[in-house]
A and B are shown apart, each in its own frame.
Chain A
Amino acid sequence: MAIKKIEYPYESCWSDADQLVLYMETGTWRTSRPKLDKEKCTYCGICALYCPPQCMKDKGDHFEPNLEFCKGCGICVKECPRKAITMVPEEG
C-alpha cells in the first residue's frame, strides 16, 4: 500500500504556531474561556508572561488569548493584578 499523503512539510518536529506547521489544537480541551474587560486592562503583560501555552496575543493596547490554543487553565485570571480577566463557561 502506498502512503496516502505527507501532510507535514518538514523532516522533523519543527513548530511555529503562527504558520501552524505542527501543533495540537489545545483549545478543544477547554471548559471555560478567559474574558477580558478592556476598561480594566493596563497592558502590563503579566497574563502573557504566565500563560503556559504562550497564547496571549499582543494587540497593541491589550492582550487577548488565542482561543485555538488556550486550554482554559485560568492562570491569567489568578495573575492579573487588575482583575481584568474572568473565566466564562464554554457553552455546549
Chain B
Amino acid sequence: MVKQLRKQETRVITGNACSAYAVRLCRPDVVALYPITPQSEVVEQLTRFKADGLLDAEMIEVEGENSAMNSVTAACVAGGRVYTATASYGLAFMYDAMMQTSGFRAPVVMTNVNREIPGIHAVSTSQQDLISVRDIGWLEIIVEDDQEIVDTTIQAFRLAEDYEIQLPLMLNYDGYYVSYSAEAVQIPMIEDVDEFLSVLKKQPQRMKLIPGKPLGAGSHGLLRAYTELRYKHLAAMQRAKAKFDQIDKEYGDMFGRYYGGQIEEYRCDDADIILVTSGSASGTAKTVVDSQREKGVKVGLVKIRMYRPFPKEKLANVLKGRKAIGVLDRSVHFGWNSGPMYAEIRALTPEIGIVPMMSFIDGIANLDITASNIERMIRDIYAASKGDKYQETTWISLEE
C-alpha cells in the first residue's frame, strides 16, 4: 500500500531561508540571533517573519553571539523551545556558553553555517568551525543541500528535545555553497509539523525553572556527582544515534524524504572502494560515483550526516570488507597531519580490517571541490586497492 504523503508547498529559496522557514514551522518560544556572514540571511528572514506576524516567538536582539547562546540556554532551562544560528567567529565567541548549554543538558537547536575559523582571516567556507567544537557535548549534524536543511531542522527539534536525549544540537551546512544557493524545496504544512513534533508533548516533562519553585540549574558538581553527570551525558549521546535513525524514518513516512539517519550509503552494496564525504561536496561526489560506475569502477559513497556522536557502528558495518577507503575532509586535523574525519575512521581499523586508507583535504577557504578533483580521489583510492603505493594525506588542490 502506498502511504498517503502530506501536502507540501514548493518554494525556490536559499539554504539560509530554508533554515528560517523550517524554524518557523517548529514554533520556537525564544529566538536570539546575531548576524554573521554567511548566516545573516537566517536572521533577516526570521525577523521578517516576526514583523509579518508569522512567527510567535520572543526575539532577542543580542549584542553578540555569547549573549545569544546564554539567552537561549536560559530560556531553554526555563522550559522553552529555542533557536539560534551562527558561523565561524560567532561560534568561537559563544564557545564558553556552549559548554554550559551542553552541561545543563539544555536542548538548544542551533544552525551553524560552516565557515573558516579564526587563524588566517577568511570569509569563506570550510568545516573547521564545527571540527573545533566537536568535543563539547553537542550533537552535530551535517547536511548536504537546501531540502535536507528544511527536513533536518524539523527533525532536530524532535531529537534534541526528546526526553531520552535532552541535548543541544548543532545543524551544519556549508556556507556560500549551500547558504546562498536557491533551490526548489518542498516545505511541509505547519499543522503536519505540529503533529510530527507532538510526540514530545506526550513524553514526561524535562526539568525546568518555574517561578515560585526554587531550584538551581547549572549547579556546582564535584567528584562522583560530576562524573555521574558526564556518564549520563555520554549515554544520552549514544542513545541519540538510534533515535536519529528512527526520527528520520518517521519523518520520511510522513513527508516522503528519507536521508538514512546517521549516514547515507550511496551505491555501496557491491562496492570495492568507498569514498567518505560530508556536506555539500557529497552531491558532486555522487555524480562522479555514477560516471565512474559507468566506466566499471565499483565505487560507493558514504555520507556522514551525524558527526557527534560519531556513527562508528554504522560506519564499521558499511566499510568492513572493502579493498580501499578514502575520506574527504573540508577541514584539517592539526594533530594527525590529515583530515579529522579520516583520523576517526582510521580509528575503526580493528572493526574494518587493515586496508589502504587515504585522507583527502580539499575545499577549504572556498576552493571548489570539483568533479575532476573527486575523480582524482577515486582514481587514487582505486590504484591503492590494486596494490599501488599511496600517500596517506593528499592536499588535492596543492598537487600538480
Contacts and interface: CB of A to CB of B under 8 A. Distances in A.
Contact of B236 (A6, A11, A15): A11
Contact of A13 (B104, B166, B231, B236): B104
Interface string B86-120: 00000000000000000111000000000000000
Contacts of B317: none
A14 B166 contact: no
A12 B225 contact: no
A1 interface: no
Contacts of A16: 214-216
A62 B37 CA distance: 59
A7 B105 contact: no
B60 interface: no
Nearest to B215: A16
B207 A10 contact: yes
Given A12-B103, A12-B105, A13-B104, A7 B224 contact: yes
B202 interface: no
Interface string A52-91: 0000000000000000000000000000000000000000
Contact of B217 (A7, A8, A14): A14
Interface in A1-39: 3, 6-8, 10-16, 22-24
B119 to A, nearest CB: 33
Contacts of B216: 13-16
Contacts of B217: 12-14
A24 B220 contact: yes
B232 A15 contact: no
B218 interface: yes
Contact of A15 (B103, B206, B215, B222): B215
Nearest to A3: B231
B335 interface: no
Contacts of A8: 225, 228-229
B222 A13 contact: no
Interface string B224-249: 11001101110010000000000000
Contacts of A14: 207, 215-217, 219
Interface string B148-178: 0000000000000000001000000000000
A3 B218 CA distance: 24
Contacts of B350: none
Interface in B178-219: 206-207, 214-219
Among B103, B105, B214, B225, chain A packs the most CB atoms within 10 A around the CB of B225
A24 B104 CA distance: 18
A13 B231 CA distance: 13
B229 A24 contact: no
Contacts of B231: 3
A58 B190 CA distance: 51
B100 to A, nearest CB: 10
Interface in B281-307: none
B221 interface: yes
Contact of B221 (A3, A6, A11, A13): A13
A24 B222 contact: yes
B207 A6 contact: no
Contacts of B236: 11
B77 to A, nearest CB: 9
Nearest to B224: A7
A16 B214 CA distance: 7
A11 B105 contact: yes
A13 B207 contact: no
Contacts of B214: 16
B218 A13 contact: yes
Nearest to B106: A12
26 contacts: A3-B231, A7-B224, A7-B225, A7-B228, A8-B228, A8-B229, A11-B105, A11-B166, A11-B207, A11-B229, A11-B233, A12-B104, A12-B105, A12-B207, A12-B217, A12-B229, A13-B104, A13-B217, A13-B221, A14-B207, A14-B216, A22-B219, A22-B221, A22-B225, A23-B219, A24-B222
Given A11-B229, A16-B215, 7 more contacts: A7-B224, A7-B228, A12-B217, A13-B104, A13-B220, A13-B229, A22-B221
Interface of A: 3, 6-8, 10-16, 22-24
Interface of B: 103-105, 166, 206-207, 214-222, 224-225, 228-229, 231-233, 236
